[in-house]
Amino acid sequence: MAPLTGDFSYGEWNAVYNALSFGIAAMGSATVFFWLQLGNVTKSYRTALTITGIVTWIATYHYFRIFNSWVEAFEVNEVGGAYSVKVSGTPFNDAYRYVDWLLTVPLLLIELILVMKLPAGETAALSTKLGVASAVMVALGYPGEIQENLAVRWFWWALAMIPFFYVVYSLLSGLGEATARQPESVVGLVSAARY
């Protein structure tokens, strides 16, 4: 959990408060939309769309948790007709972002692989490899996030870059052939998603 240093103006505090509120509304409504659209999507894409809904549902939950942590980390009071914002002493839990990414990044990569319509064995193998690599990437990033020593931060960053480059390499080179096999109408979309 990150200790918050110094006080924030009401405008700064309110901007974060409103951005988190917007995130909750956007992700929550996207979840409902994706799941309501399942019947309108070709059967071969329903699993991918279900995963999309799961990703946005997970994000909605974590936005709620981040929002609550943000509100609890501050005391907002009216002073002479204006609002004053002070750190409450309750730590702001920034680990929710990493928990979110630990779940959603692998799911998004698996979703991308599912829409590629690869053979079942290749889909399972690639989903496992990229899912694990992306989870390791996020897990290696968190220790660096909570370090105060800059050298230690860079060490964890460098470690997290190893699985990151593996994922990027796999998406750019390993799926190029599969992208070319896609129907003409979606080649551009799938190609753009790889980048």
101-138 pLDDT, tens digit per residue, is: 999 999 999 998 988 888 899 999 999 999 999 999 99
Rg of the chain over all Cα atoms, to the nearest angstrom = 20
Check pLDDT > 90 for residue 163: yes
Among candidates 30, 53, 172, which has minimal Cα distance to 107? 53
Tell whether the model's pLDDT for residue 1 goes beyond 70. no
Percent with pLDDT over 70 in the chain: 94
Q: Distance (Å, rounded) from C-alpha 191 to C-alpha 106?
A: 19
Average pLDDT over residues 166-194: 76
